[in-house]
Amino acid sequence: MDHIPDNGADFTTPVDCEKWDVAYCPPPEPPPGTPYGAEVVCVVGDRVLLVSEDGQQWRLPSGCAAPHEECRHTVRRKVREEACATVMESRLLGFGRSVCVRGPRQGLVLIRSMWRAEVRLAPWNPCCGTAHRRLLSIGEAFRSLAVPDGLGPFYRRLFAQAVVSRAAVHHL
């Protein structure tokens, strides 16, 4: 089982042709770097909502901010566009800090805000490339995520932060 990284603890992972140091940083203030959108664990009752372009690779709603858009507004927009859902309540869980340590973008520091949102489903009318959505238990959602190699600990931490009971994390 992958460990759950501590706040700010870097671990190195390959992504495409590059190598990145990734860390989970606590709220409320983002660490220094270039803002790179938001990713959202959407909760409907005791289920987690995942989206997919092809019905095979499942992910959390996420994306980059529009120019001059605040993170909270990015969360609401991406959930509406990708999951056909309305954010009822949201909570900032932390930030993903990714530093490119080897490759063409060496030195680049990207910061993504990570959220939990209680959502209400709307009729399914997807846009932005999303063609599928599904609701799963927390454990099923975690196991269904298409997690890039090496980022398992990061997503385990994200789910640990998002669930009400940390005990549920032991079943991931």
- Relative to beta strand 109-121, strand 34-44 is parallel
Q: For 15-68, write each residue's pLDDT tens digit.
A: 888 999 999 999 999 999 999 999 999 999 999 999 999 999 999 999 998 888
pLDDT band at 153 (very low <50, low <70, confident <90, very high): confident
What value, to the nearest 5°, has the Cα angle with vertex 106 and ends 96 and 154?
25
CATH of 11-164, one of 3.40.50.10860, 3.20.20.140, 3.90.79.10, 3.30.70.1560: 3.90.79.10
Q: Where are the domains of the chain?
A: 11-164
- Report the predicted TM-score, pTM, of the whole model to 2 decimal places: 0.89
Does residue 141 carry a pLDDT above 90? yes
Does residue 91 carry a pLDDT above 60? yes
Residue-level pLDDT at 172: 41
Cα separations in angstroms, 135 against 23, 50, 59, 129: 28, 6, 12, 19
What percentage of the chain exceeds 90 in pLDDT? 66
CA distance 112 to 166: 23
Alpha helix (H) ranges present in the chain? 71-83, 138-144, 152-162
Q: Rg of the Cα trace of the chain?
A: 15
